[in-house]
């Protein structure tokens, strides 16, 4: 079942930030495995961030391997926080920025947020924001500094701030000493169970029920380990492969899974 599409219907538009968030949830939220749980825990922290009895700053990190669906889930939380002020920070709007203009832009977001009583900032892919790359390794240390400072300083008295971040490289953030700045860290897992694959296949509507059954029967003879985004991408191939019969489609899809290394038949 689709969590997002459901709730999405009843949400009033929040303007451009809302659109920016929607881009991350292009294909809705399919409720496989622990997705619902994870969102529940996330929403509990959102609630905690709103509460007047708690600390006036709460930082949440969602982290998962590439294509795990981390950004979509984080965007979902920000979208559903019901905070009147929501801002999205991504690296794609800062292509070609110098380190310090990046810092100033990020700082401005926080300063704007501080003017609202309840505000939520969504920062996607922290390590990418700081220009991290593993060869060297390299990263923009003054952007890291800015994050460090902004995540650790409190909003002015009477303001409450919720920061939701994502990361694909938890170990990097750990090494950089950023993890203790977060109130909580939620892990977004890969899909491992055949039943979860089935749910994604079904909800995606890229294959017929019979085909889905066939695929699922096939993959019980091995191990699946795939991000939901990756899996949805592979299903796109099925959408254009139309003029062949079911069996061929199933075989093609199973081959694709194997070629892409996300399914390994047992020896």
Ligand X SMILES: Nc1ncnc2c1ncn2[C@@H]1O[C@H](COP(=O)(O)OP(=O)(O)OP(=O)(O)O)[C@@H](O)[C@H]1O
Does residue 154 touch a second copy according to CB under 8 A?
yes
Point out which residues bind ligand X (CB under 6 A). 24-30, 32, 35, 64, 66-73, 152, 168, 180, 227-229, 232
Q: What's the CA gap between 264 and 245, in Å, rounded?
A: 25
Q: Specify whether the CB–CB gap between 89 and 106 falls below 8 A.
A: yes
**Contact map string, positions 182 to 221, toward a second copy, x by CB under 8 A:** -x--------------------------------------
CB of 8 to ligand X, least distance (A): 11
Q: Torsions phi, psi of 76, nearest 5?
A: -60, -45
| Residue 124: Cβ-neighbour burial (10 angstroms; 0-12, 13-18, 19+) | buried
The angle at the Cα of 95, spanning 16 to 97, to the nearest 5 degrees, equals 105
Among 14, 43, 118, 172, binds a second copy (CB under 8 A): 172
- Give the list of residues 6+ apart from residue 249 with CB closer than 8 angstroms, or none: 207, 211, 238, 241
Say whether residue 100 binds a second copy (CB under 8 A): yes
Q: Which does 150 bind (CB under 5 to 8 A by kind): Mg ion, ligand X, a second copy, none?
A: a second copy
49-78 positions binding Mg ion, by CB under 5 A: 71
Q: What single DSSP character describes residue 133?
A: B
Instruction: Give the total of residues touching Mg ion (CB under 5 A).
Output: 1
> Per-residue string for binding with a second copy, 104-143, x by CB under 8 A?
x-xx--------------------x--x-xxxxxxx-xx-
């Amino acid at each position: 079942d689709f969590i997002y599409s459901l709730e999405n219907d009843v949400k009033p538009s929040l303007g451009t930030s809302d659109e920016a968030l929607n881009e991350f949830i292009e294909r809705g939220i399919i409720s496989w495995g622990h997705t619902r749980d994870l969102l529940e825990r996330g929403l509990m922290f959102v609630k905690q961030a709103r509460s007047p009895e708690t600390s006036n700053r709460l930082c949440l990190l969602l982290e998962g391997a590439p294509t795990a669906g981390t950004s979509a889930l984080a965007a979902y939380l920000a979208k559903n926080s019901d905070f009147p002020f929501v801002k999205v920070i991504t690296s794609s709007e800062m292509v070609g920025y110098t380190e310090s203009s990046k810092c100033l832009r990020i700082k401005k977001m926080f300063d704007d947020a501080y003017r609202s009583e309840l505000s939520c900032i969504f920062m996607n892919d922290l390590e990418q924001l700081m220009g991290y790359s593993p060869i060297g390794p390299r990263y923009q240390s003054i952007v890291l500094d800015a994050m460090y400072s902004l995540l650790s300083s409190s909003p002015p008295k009477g303001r409450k701030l919720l920061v939701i971040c994502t990361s694909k490289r938890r170990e990097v953030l750990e090494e950089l000493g950023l993890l203790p700045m977060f109130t909580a860290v939620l892990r977004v897992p890969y899909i491992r169970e055949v039943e979860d694959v089935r749910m994604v296949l079904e909800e995606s509507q890229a294959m017929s029920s019979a085909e889905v059954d066939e695929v699922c029967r096939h993959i019980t003879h091995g191990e699946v380990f795939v991000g939901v985004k990756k899996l949805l991408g592979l299903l796109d191939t099925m959408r254009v492969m139309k003029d062949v019969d079911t069996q061929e489609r199933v075989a093609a899809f199973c081959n694709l899974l194997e070629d892409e290394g996300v399914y390994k038949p047992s020896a």
